[in-house]
Structure 1
Amino acid sequence: MIIYETNKNFLGDIAHLSRSWTMQKVLRSTLGVAVLTTIFAVLVEELPLNMHAPSTIFSLLGIVLSVLLVFRTNTAYDRWWEGRKQWGMLVNNCRNLAVMTHTIFPEDDSRSRYEMALLISNFCIALKEHLRQGTKVEELIHLNAEEVELYRQRKHVPNYISTLIHQKVQLMYRSGEISGADIRNMKPHLQALLDITGACERIKKTPIPFSYSVYIKLLILGYSLMLPFGLIRDFSYFTIPLVTFIFFTFIGIEMMASEIEDPFGLDCNDLSTGDFAQNIKKNVFEIMEVPLEPQPVENKELYRKVF
């Protein structure tokens, strides 16, 4: 995610936008349409060709296209915002679970607190990669060789870690160190881990229908390629910048929507789930008052589609 301060550096924000991967694709597409429009304008103006159409047709088509783009953008942003809300809920539930664990577990049992802090932290670290290309076991913290092998055998690592958390709580209950009331109080936060995982998987695995997305792109391209026929008689060579700017506007909105509809990746406008997971880890260890063993320097996630 690009972190910026609103209304502070207007020109700087625009300059950064021009370096993004999405904007690079928009500019390349816009350049192609500009070239085709230029060829058309030169042919019509320099040769005795009578190639034009009533501009009112394109006004009506423009309204239809605008409505579709508004719906497309709203749908994509709803997915992005839903993902942000789910990770916000994960932060809250992990903190609450850490507070309850610290309060309920015996004061002298720092080992159990440490194990719970480790499991909660690894759950969040595993989840952020699970929503991308699959959990990277090497990113999980403080695992021995046997545990690493067990984790590698699991196709759904967040499920496995959630099971370990439940098993730990049940073990504490059976040993008499916590009560049934304690488990009932912890249950909503324990269940929330997989509820949030399922909600994020729903967003990840249910993209905008392919035919709908392709149809909008085709409509934008077709509209932009036919638009010169409606403008050339009234605007002559000024048709070139007009068509270029209109295409730039429409295709830019469509491609921004395409970028944010899957908010868990590494595109420049995706959610910074890696930072969320690291913050949860720090919060949980601090709340439970157990030491977080030194680790290699944390590298900020590189968003591969930013130049």
Structure 2
Amino acid sequence: MIVRPRPHWVRLLFVRRGSLVPRILSQQLFIIALSSAVVLFHGQLFHWKVTLNSAPFSLMGVALAIFLGFRINVSYDRYWEARKLWGAVLVESRNLARQALTMTGRGVEPRPFVLGLIGFATTMRNQLRGRPRDTALEGLLPADLLSRLRDARFAPALVLLWLGEWLRERRTAGQLEPIAAQQMEQSLNELSGALGGCERIANTPLPFTYSVILHRSAYLYCMLLPFGLVDSIGLMTPLVVAFVSYTFFALEELSDEIEDPFGTLANDLALDTLVAGIDASLREMLGETPPPAPVPDANFILT
């Protein structure tokens, strides 16, 4: 995730990080070269004059813009839903930590349970990003549970199971009132729901055919556009086509990037930072000193 103050409007015109230019540079150079060739040969292709004007491109441009807008909206909806689900993980983790610290009886050590909540967020991050399930779990979960997680396919669900077993043991021992246990179970259900929602987003990409149609339409439009403009604007054709193609290519690339919000690209969710925030919040509730908050790197990126 790019985290930086908004620069001056002049500087914003030349910002490279976040502009997606590096990812679409080869396509842009190809379109500019094609447009220059069209101007050089006056719109002729093998001694055949391509008789196009700007009228059909006006109609196709509106349709393509609506098509791209729909794609962006769908991708951003996935991105924002994922962020709300991670917000729910933070809220319910705080609720459970507070209840474990204030509602359990004397002689109960709630720290393993609270650290287990941090372990849940960590394993959830690991699963969504395809990392080894036991990454960064040292000191958070019991050794026998860690050994089970190494080969588990759904490690966060096993952590939730362990948290539920901890509640059952406290309730059976009379160290937790049944109504309090029921409330905490409801919060565990909310965590399970957030996990399932993130799995749904991660495991259900947008239909591939939709991406193919949009990709072909955008490229064909930009490749034919120079033939429709060369007779009316002449030498300005490469510049105008470069601007239009940048808009279409960048929007397509952005929608593809945020379609999977759990990756490590510049515009994806900063899952490492979100997990670090949960860790710091729960450790403060335990009375411990949390580690320093993550800061953006030299490119203003939080992962």
TM-score by length of 2: 0.89
Give me the CA root mean square deviation.
Answer: 2.7
Tell me the residue number matched to 2:66. Answer: 67
Aligned partner letter, 2:81? E
Tell me the residue number matched to 1:242. Answer: 240
Tell me the residue number matched to 2:274. Answer: 276
Tell me the residue number matched to 1:133. Answer: 130
Q: Is the 8 A contact 2:76 2:259 kept in 1?
A: yes
Separation of aligned partners in 2, 1:155 and 1:88 = 24
Pairing of 1:104-253 with structure 2 (within 5 A) = 104-109=103-108, 111=109, 113-142=110-139, 143=141, 146-253=144-251
Q: Is the 8 A contact 2:133 2:149 kept in 1?
A: no
Q: Deviation of residue 245 (structure 1)?
A: 1.1
Q: Deviation of residue 185 (structure 1)?
A: 1.6
Percent identical pairs in the alignment equals 27
Tell me the residue number matched to 1:98. Answer: 97
Q: Is the 8 A contact 2:215 2:252 kept in 1?
A: yes
Q: Is the 8 A contact 1:106 1:177 kept in 2?
A: yes
TM-score by length of 1: 0.88
Kindly report structure 1 stretches of 4+ aligned residues shifted beyond 6 Å.
Answer: 45-48, 297-304
Unpaired runs of at least 5, structure 1? none
Pairing of 1:31-42 with structure 2 (within 5 A) = 31-42=29-40
Tell me the residue number matched to 1:78. Answer: 77
Separation of aligned partners in 2, 1:130 and 1:301 = 23
Q: Deviation of residue 287 (structure 1)?
A: 1.7
Q: Deviation of residue 146 (structure 1)?
A: 4.3
Task: Name the SS for the 1:252 alignment partner.
Answer: helix
Residues 129 and 220 (structure 1 numbering): CA distance in 2 closer, same or farther, change over 3 Å? same
Aligned partner letter, 1:262? D
Tell me which protein shows more helix as a share of its residues: 1
Q: Deviation of residue 300 (structure 1)?
A: 6.5
Residues 235 and 266 (structure 1 numbering): CA distance in 2 closer, same or farther, change over 3 Å? same
Residues 303 and 115 (structure 1 numbering): CA distance in 2 closer, same or farther, change over 3 Å? farther
Q: Which stretch shows the higher mean deviation, 19-28 or 200-209? A: 19-28
Q: Which stretch shows the higher mean deviation, 56-65 or 133-142? A: 133-142
Tell me the residue number matched to 1:3. Answer: 3
Q: Is the 8 A contact 2:38 2:44 kept in 1?
A: no
How many residue pairs get aligned? The number is 299
Q: Is the 8 A contact 2:92 2:187 kept in 1?
A: yes
Measured against aligned partners, the alpha-carbon deviations of 1:229-275 in whole angstroms (never above 9, x if no partner) come to 21111112211111111111111111111111111111111111111
Separation of aligned partners in 2, 1:217 and 1:9 = 33
